Amino acid sequence: MNPTKPLLLALHFLSEEHRAQMGELLQVIYAPSPAERAAAVAEHGAQVQVVLTVGAVGLTAAEMDRMPQLQLICALGAGYEMVDVAHARQRGVVVANGAGTNDDCVADHALGLLLAAVRGIPRLDALTRQGVWREAIPLPPNVSGRRLGLLGLGTIGRKIARRAEGFDIEVGYHNRSPREGVGYRYFDQLQALAEWADFLVVATPGGAATRHLVNAPVLEALGPRGVLVNIARGSVVDTAALALALREGRLGAAGLDVYESEPQPPADLIGLPNVVLTPHVAGWSPEAVQRSVNQFLANVKGHYSGQGVVAPV
């Protein structure tokens, strides 16, 4: 160990290159699996000063209390729902995140899932490989000229909305309150938004406050030609209700990047032909991940220089 460098405990997957980049500034303890995490906290907790995690992995109050020298907790992405922020603040520990580093990547992926789900692109690909030609296939519907409802109009939601406008799609949204300076139609009830929309895109934070916001009544309101896209957190959607609606034809299709079961695939959805699945990669691209790592290091430098983190929570 180099006593001149703060000790970092990294709890999420990092490439060797990014670990090396962090190693220029910090001593790195890399513990991405649950077993490695428990062992690292037990062995190095007393010396850890910085923790790097992600929203779905988090950091518990009990773990923090095993780190008496802890000064800084950073989430690599924007989400931090599983970090006990209240306990961190009680301890005087600074919390920062990667807000803004992968917004474009997530918005791009959301539109990709929407296009794939509405047009049935994975199924069309499979049929083409089987030698099935277009006359034997039901016509896939337009994406353009439809209505898109956004559950959440933060930075990512706005970027999704701007991309949707490029397809001549009308945009509405549901938040706890209307956004100032926004021309999109506001709905104060999610179910009303779902009744209005052809497509519903989930772009809200995870955590207890948003768990199963998209439930059976919301899916029923979206209807048999409706399409659900989720690039937020799996916990926001009731998976059992979603699977049943898709199986019974009460919802048209879904495009999902996140799941309640992750990292395990969603067993109830695997066999359904009207679902497009990706493995929580909406925010992952070489450019986005590098920006996230750069912002993490900027947070560390800001904290230790006394200037403050660049993305405080």
pLDDT, tens digit, for every residue of 147-164?
999 999 999 999 999 999
Predicted confidence (pLDDT) per residue in 194-221, tens digit: 999 999 999 999 888 999 999 999 999 9
Predicted confidence at residue 310, as pLDDT, reads 96
Centre a 10 Å sphere on the Cβ of residue 250 and count the other Cβ atoms it contains: 16
pLDDT at 9: 98
| Per-residue confidence (pLDDT) for residue 3, from 0 to 100 | 63
Is 211 considered catalytic here? no
Tokens linked to 188: 């104060």
Mean pLDDT, the chain, as a whole number? 96
Residue 1 has pLDDT above 80, yes or no: no
Give per-residue pLDDT as tens, 58-73: 999 999 999 999 999 9
Active site residue 44: no
Q: Which of 233, 260, 291, 303 is catalytic?
A: 233
Span between the terminal Cα atoms of the chain, in Å: 30
- Kindly indicate the confidence band of residue 78, based on its pLDDT and cuts at 50, 70 and 90: confident
4 pLDDT tier (thresholds 50, 70, 90):
confident
